[in-house]
Structure 1
């Protein structure tokens, strides 16, 4: 098992708030990996323009750092901000890291009048090219995200250990959304890319559980020959790509995600007002049906946050909060640590048919059931 924590608020906050929640749930992970995703960025020493994509990752050597610089310059990116972490020591778990980087760029001039799809495709291709470059050089360069208003940090270690090393408590970096996962290594080797959350084109998810249907799902996604469906150092990465496939390629509403990964049974579909459509969808996407137990937490580019469970519902998750600030965690003590001043009587634990949605306005929760109708206007 792993442990998950997410906090979303109208006002930017320190990611250290979420790391303390991870500490409250520390019996559920083993220090083999921590992943952080920050969205809605605010920097202490830079007035960030959300149009600038942020490149985040780790360079293991000066040579890797120089290759990164040269690659971005040759591709036409102009560096606008290079964040300097106030490091307390230069290593983590005995492994030296030459540079943790968070860098904001202006996109190449050729994209000044490009449409959104062209810009998003360019950011994806650039991230993949840098990742491939690092792999070709013995893993000396890791790139976790390249997207406007998003930063990702991944490291092997315990949450507060990582937070203290990078001085994440000092207010240099704040965000309106923070996702964190403490990993318990079960099926795979220790690898930074295996740390949740996973990310593609503004869409991120993290999972507590084990996806025993991983291999057929992975093979189906790879068979689409779509950019970005690579890697899979973790069986949970497919959840991110299924959500991406649902929203970006099928162009279906968020509610459909649950219907794809955990469709209703035949008797339930016979009674559903949109049963014919959902039966066709189930048949077309049959290879994407998951087998749990899993709890999946995600965020979208507009700062929407979501939580879903599979039918086995053997990996718990709780959501709670108040207007303006909400939290999701694997355990209630995690929600307590992030939002102690809420009314806990209003906390919600979803059942197998639910999708919990926290809209960008963060006024209140939306709990949607698979038995309800979804907006057909978005499912054309």
Structure 2
């Protein structure tokens, strides 16, 4: 198993506080990888415009960094801010790290006439071009994300050690959302792209568990011929791509995600007020049904957060907090560490039919049941 921790708050906080919370759950990961995703960013030494895309990744060599500069320049990006992590190299297990990349860019002037959807598509294609360039040169360039108001960092090692090694305890970077996953390497070789969270066009997920339906799901997604549905160094990456497919391509509400990955049984659909729609959705997306056990935590571009479980419920997760500040973790002690002054009697552990949603205003939890009516006119 892995361990997951996510905090969302109205006021920016240090990601290091979430890594400290990960220490409470350290028996659940083995140091083979830490992944971080931050949203709602604030920099101590730079006034950030949340519309500007941020590139996150690693240039493993000086040559890789030069190629990155060439690709971004040729695409028309203008560098506005180059964050220098306070790196303590002696604490990093891997020694082929020339530069950890966190760069803010101005979008190409040629994109000014593009629609929002077109800009998002071009950002995705640029990130994929950087990834492909790195893979073509012996994996010397890693590109985790290129998106407004998102920073990602991934590295091999123990969460707290990596946080200290990158200087995340300095307070130079804070955010309103921090997703963190400590990996236990059970299925694949150590690969930074295999470390959660997974990200595509503003959609991010991280998972504790395993997905034995991985191959048919991967095959179905890659069969869509959508350029972003690639990679799959981890069987959990499909959860992010399914969430992207449901919310960005089908344009369905977030609560529908649960109906796609773990649909209701026929006898349950017969009693549901939108049973005909949900039966059609299940049949159309049958290849996306997961086989757990899994707990999935996700975030969306508008800073909505969510938690779902599969029917087996063998990978626990708990959500707790108070208005303006909420946390989700694999273990209750993780929530305790992130928000110790909450009312614990209001903590919630979802059952197999639930989707827990924390809206962007962060005032209260929304708990959707698959037996509830969806807020969607197409399903009426």
Under TM normalisation by the shorter chain, which class is it? over 0.9
Between the aligned partners of 1:283 and 1:94, the Cα distance in structure 2 is: 46
3-state SS of paired residue (2:89): coil
Kindly indicate whether residue 270 of structure 2 is the aligned counterpart of residue 240 of structure 1. no
Between the aligned partners of 1:279 and 1:96, the Cα distance in structure 2 is: 51
CA shift for structure 1 position 94: 4.3
CA shift for structure 1 position 91: 5.9
Q: TM-score scaled by structure 1?
A: 0.99
Q: Which moved more, 1:220-229 or 1:88-97?
A: 88-97
**Which residue of the partner structure matches residue 180 of structure 2?**
180
Between the aligned partners of 1:279 and 1:114, the Cα distance in structure 2 is: 37
CA shift for structure 1 position 377: 2.6
Between the aligned partners of 2:304 and 2:81, the Cα distance in structure 1 is: 26
Instruction: Check conservation: 1:76, 1:107, Cα contact below 8 A.
Output: yes
Between the aligned partners of 1:311 and 1:95, the Cα distance in structure 2 is: 42
Change in 2 beyond 3 A, CA 1:318/1:253:
same
Instruction: Check conservation: 1:124, 1:146, Cα contact below 8 A.
Output: yes
CA shift for structure 1 position 113: 2.7
**Which residue of the partner structure matches residue 337 of structure 2?**
337
Instruction: Check conservation: 2:94, 2:156, Cα contact below 8 A.
Output: no
3-state SS of paired residue (2:170): coil
Instruction: Check conservation: 1:39, 1:150, Cα contact below 8 A.
Output: yes
Unaligned runs of 5+ in 1: none
Between the aligned partners of 1:38 and 1:197, the Cα distance in structure 2 is: 10
Offset from partner CA, 1:213-234 (integer Å, 9 cap, x none): 0000000000000011000000
**Which residue of the partner structure matches residue 74 of structure 1?**
74
Instruction: Check conservation: 1:90, 1:96, Cα contact below 8 A.
Output: no
**Which residue of the partner structure matches residue 52 of structure 2?**
52
**Which residue of the partner structure matches residue 374 of structure 2?**
374
Unaligned runs of 5+ in 2: none
Offset from partner CA, 1:331-363 (integer Å, 9 cap, x none): 000000000111111100000000000000000
Note the aligned Cα RMSD (angstroms): 1.0
Between the aligned partners of 1:94 and 1:258, the Cα distance in structure 2 is: 38
**Which residue of the partner structure matches residue 108 of structure 1?**
108
Offset from partner CA, 1:161-213 (integer Å, 9 cap, x none): 10000010111110000000000001100000000000000000000000000
3-state SS of paired residue (1:95): coil
Between the aligned partners of 2:292 and 2:162, the Cα distance in structure 1 is: 30
**Which residue of the partner structure matches residue 264 of structure 2?**
264
**Which residue of the partner structure matches residue 319 of structure 2?**
319
Matches within 5 A, 1:46-195: 46-89=46-89, 92-195=92-195
Q: TM-score scaled by structure 2?
A: 0.99
Matches within 5 A, 1:286-297: 286-297=286-297
3-state SS of paired residue (2:81): strand
3-state SS of paired residue (1:246): helix
Between the aligned partners of 2:97 and 2:166, the Cα distance in structure 1 is: 12
CA shift for structure 1 position 93: 1.0
CA shift for structure 1 position 378: 6.3
**Which residue of the partner structure matches residue 301 of structure 1?**
301
